[in-house]
Structure 1
Amino acid sequence: MKEVLDWCWLLVLSLLLLILLLKVMCLLWWRPRRIEEHFAKQGIKGPPYRFFIGNIKELMGMMLKASSHPMPLSHNIVPRVLSFYHHWKKIYGATFLVWFGPTARVTVSDPELIREIFSFKSEFYEKNESHPLMRQLEGDGLLTLKGAKWAHHRKIIQPTFFMDNLKMLIPVMGKKVEEMMDKWSAMSDATGGGGGEEVEIEVSEWFQTLTEDVITCTAFGSSYEEGKAVFRLQAKQMVYVAEAFEKIFIPGYRFIPTKKNRNSWILEREIKKSLVKLIERRRENSGDESETPEGFQSHKDLLGLMIKAGADGDKVQQRSSLPENGSSPAAGSAITVRDIVEECKSFFFAGKQTTSNLLTWITVLLAMHPEWQRKARDEVLRVCGSRDSPSKDAIHKLKTLSMIVNETLRLYPPAIATIRRAKADVELGGYKIPRGTELLVPILAVHHDQSLWGHDVNEFNPARFSEGVTQAANHPMAFIPFGLGARTCIGQNLATLQAKLAIAVILQRFSFRLAPTYQHAPTVLMLLHPQYGAPIIFRHLLASETSISRDQGS
């Protein structure tokens, strides 16, 4: 009898293992083969699928080779930054199938199809899941939320980013930029003291500090100092996560208790605890404005809006700790302390990286193209004067600077691609897309498409935006640095406003050029940035060079 039972258990175990094996084979082999055949019949081909790893090995190899050395001073950066797309497009065409492990992704660069995905048929597509390491940095906020809960949070947070609300921060932003300029001036004076001296500055590091200050003002308002302390912790965590992100090809690496991983886990807990304490203190003192710093009185900050949304319905949960499992309330229901924590983390990560990189690339491009630097400076001096901090009305009049910002976003967009997943079987421009297929929109490639932008597509030519964004290319959907549709980046007004203000103040005080040590090497680690930094030579302008009088009639 015992032998019979043993044989029965063995048989059951064998059947379970067989079922498991069949499921694995279906997921990792038969299903990808069916998807390949499905798209091949429609004329969509790509590099062949390899068991389990897909095309990751070839993709990583091309990326590592492309980023192994700097490139010439050229804006034709697609072969370096999107090397896999550049390579396979030449073989399979602009619309091809590529495998990220067993996940199928179809590249979509046709503006009409992009409009379908983000506007006309957006209900059929959803944002794909971020890698866990990215999610750790992004937080579980607007960047990753979906459905009703995403809509609920966006509605609450939106007033923070209305232009009229952001303009109230201009005096605070201006003060931070001027403080940075004073430090640069001191560095310049220290090199000689006779006027017009040059100094080399690695601007990307300075711009990160500057954007931290402004992002903290926008997120925390009157709780600025406490918020900045929390964000210092997150900045440290970003270093660990960035290093771990380079090792994502090792499955489960983030769970290995290495020294760096342990430090990252500790920082994550400290960030959550600090934010919870800050939120509770802010709620308790919500009616006390006695210690509100100058410039914040009427500004609607992100933290205050979310706390108010919870308090209005008595929905903010009264707790001082967070569940480790990350559970969230039902979509559209209570605004919890955890929700507020995650939104603050999301805003700091996305806001800081996007704006600091934008500022860096604008400075690099103006250093590379002195004729446009002169045009921008002439406009700033005419509209704002040589020393007055730009006002909200003056910033609106800086048309040349607006064109320069847009051309920078075209050539060097912060996010080089975006991904959407089909929630159901859907037809896209005549193609039949199975449920679960991911669609990769290579933003950088669209921005560098000669058929859309003309023969000078890889040249820095801000004049192409002289008639506005929609008239700059052959298709209104050709310019998508902040995405499209309902999920357009909520912080784009803040990023462009801060960039224009900072560059305007720099132009008032300095002329600049690339340092001899600058190496042109755009690369992606979460967002597009200069791989070897951005050393720039700054020369303090003499009084005779800033003598253009303000145009009172402009």
Structure 2
Amino acid sequence: MARVTISDPTLLREIFISKSEYFEKNDSPPLVKKLEGDGLLNLKGEKWAHHRRLISPAFYLENLKLMVPTMGKGVREMLDKWSEMSKTATGKVEIDVCEWFERLTESVICHVIFGHRCEEDGTPSSSSSSIFQLQAQQMAYATEAFRKIFIPGHRFLPTEKNRKFWRLDKEVRHSLVKLIDERRRALLSSSSGGRDLPRECGPKGLLDLMIKETGNYNNNNNNVVAGGNGASRPAAATTDDVVEECKTLFFAGKHTTTNLMELAREEVLRVCGAHDPPSKDDLANLKTLGMILNESLRLYPPIIAIVRRAKVDVQLRELKVPKGAELLVPIIAIHHDPTLWGNDVNEFNPARFARPPPGCQMPCSHPAMAFMPFGQGERKCVGQNLAILQAKLAMAMILQRFSFELAPSYQHSPTVLMLLQPQHGAPIVFHNL
């Protein structure tokens, strides 16, 4: 199969925007698809469009802002533990922030799926935690499989590792079905009791949106449900659909200089104060922090590349793309292209995001298609707002209470395990202010 690498922003605009209808997402490897779930990441066509419309309200910025107080409580509890750990003679502590931020993210994902914190202490419930742990094991098996010589049909053989992967997949599904059934019964009980469905005035939970979309709360996978006039109509979502979307979100959701730190802290203290957690309105006014996050995402985008397949013969300016050809968009290479970003492309310089030109919709003065940490076009990551909101909130609250620098034990070794991440963790030394 022909594959062409495309990095020209002009051609990228055609691929993702003006001629996007002629391209589709390439098929994920079977092991990856099993892990990610047959949800938004892997669906195509009308079913993808329907699921996107259904799920998007849970990720609208106004809905996510309703979660800020709960998210802030989770961050505060994490920082309280750090403060206790730093009560030493030196007043500092080394912490691998990767592990802590993973747990924080798990709690936020639970909040998005269920519309509430899973446990009173802000940690995911035992059922949710087991899903995260099972998926982590699945990812380890999938990653190991990619590094071996490819043998056609090997994934179907009953090897020890394949049997373990199949068992993990069954356990993930069993745990998700159990959570879905529990929520379905709660909705049914609430509805039959003459009460409104829970949390109508609070943040919309993704699970409720999916269950309500089925048109009823019974536990079946039929493709037809009764309409309001007694006629049959196609079911918009089955239990299988809900399971696959939950697998997708559980998987996808989880995975400076001193002067700059002082500038960011000064902004946080000015906007939010020294002790109060940032409000939903405060976060929009943290411009310096936003520039720092954008520059971090430019240097280390979570998605390093995207592949699109031509559904028909397509003309992209002077380039003729035949049907079936794959176009590789190397996001990390585009983010490090000196012709787009300047000769300091490998330096950490948030100021490059400071001054957008008139009429530009992007947060920087470079071509819109030069910055795509969450993808581009209609398939751009639906959780982008959630990721940015959570990162801003956590960084602001850390700056209120700590100064920090890289630990001497830190080893700079980014690696790709589905997404870009530090191979040896991210140990940071924190000092109480």
- The residue number in structure 2 matching 1:304 is 208
Match of 1:517 among 399, 409, 414: 409
Matched, 1:377 2:265: yes
- The residue number in structure 1 matching 2:301 is 413
Mapped to 1, the partners of 2:305 and 2:59 lie a distance apart of 24
One-letter code aligned to 2:387? A
One-letter code aligned to 2:204? K
SS at match of 2:274: coil
CA contact (8 A) 1:425 1:432 kept: yes
- The residue number in structure 2 matching 1:247 is 148
Matched, 1:260 2:161: yes
* Pair 1:373–1:252, CA change in 2 (3 A): farther
Match of 2:290 among 379, 389, 402: 402
- The residue number in structure 2 matching 1:204 is 98
TM-score w.r.t. structure 1 length?
A: 0.69
TM-score w.r.t. structure 2 length?
A: 0.88
* Pair 1:223–1:531, CA change in 2 (3 A): closer
- The residue number in structure 1 matching 2:325 is 437
Mapped to 2, the partners of 1:187 and 1:253 lie a distance apart of 47
Mapped to 2, the partners of 1:211 and 1:267 lie a distance apart of 22
Mapped to 2, the partners of 1:245 and 1:254 lie a distance apart of 11
* Pair 1:319–1:484, CA change in 2 (3 A): closer
**Displacement of 1:445 after TM fit?**
1.1
Matched, 1:120 2:14: no
Which range is displaced more, 448-457 or 301-310? 448-457
- The residue number in structure 2 matching 1:27 is none
* Pair 1:333–1:115, CA change in 2 (3 A): farther
1:219-263 deviation per Cα after TM superposition (whole angstroms, max 9, x unaligned): 122583344443343333333333333336344443343433322
- The residue number in structure 2 matching 1:272 is 173
Mapped to 2, the partners of 1:207 and 1:246 lie a distance apart of 27
- The residue number in structure 1 matching 2:69 is 171
One-letter code aligned to 1:249? F
1:252-303 deviation per Cα after TM superposition (whole angstroms, max 9, x unaligned): 443343433322211211111221122122112116579xxx9996110111
Mapped to 1, the partners of 2:265 and 2:9 lie a distance apart of 35
1:475-506 deviation per Cα after TM superposition (whole angstroms, max 9, x unaligned): 22211111111111111000000000011111
- The residue number in structure 2 matching 1:493 is 385
- The residue number in structure 1 matching 2:225 is none
**What is the 5 A alignment of 1:81-160?**
103-160=1-58
- The residue number in structure 2 matching 1:64 is none
* Pair 1:187–1:315, CA change in 2 (3 A): closer
Mapped to 2, the partners of 1:463 and 1:295 lie a distance apart of 41
SS at match of 1:477: helix
Please provide the CA RMSD for this pair: 2.4
Mapped to 2, the partners of 1:201 and 1:296 lie a distance apart of 39
Mapped to 2, the partners of 1:473 and 1:448 lie a distance apart of 15
- Aligned identity (percent) is 59
One-letter code aligned to 2:36? E
Mapped to 2, the partners of 1:177 and 1:316 lie a distance apart of 37
Match of 1:286 among 171, 187, 200: 187
* Pair 1:426–1:515, CA change in 2 (3 A): same
* Pair 1:143–1:392, CA change in 2 (3 A): same
Mapped to 2, the partners of 1:146 and 1:134 lie a distance apart of 16
Mapped to 2, the partners of 1:416 and 1:231 lie a distance apart of 23
Mapped to 1, the partners of 2:187 and 2:273 lie a distance apart of 40
* Pair 1:432–1:333, CA change in 2 (3 A): farther
One-letter code aligned to 1:431? L
Mapped to 1, the partners of 2:397 and 2:173 lie a distance apart of 36
- The residue number in structure 1 matching 2:424 is 532
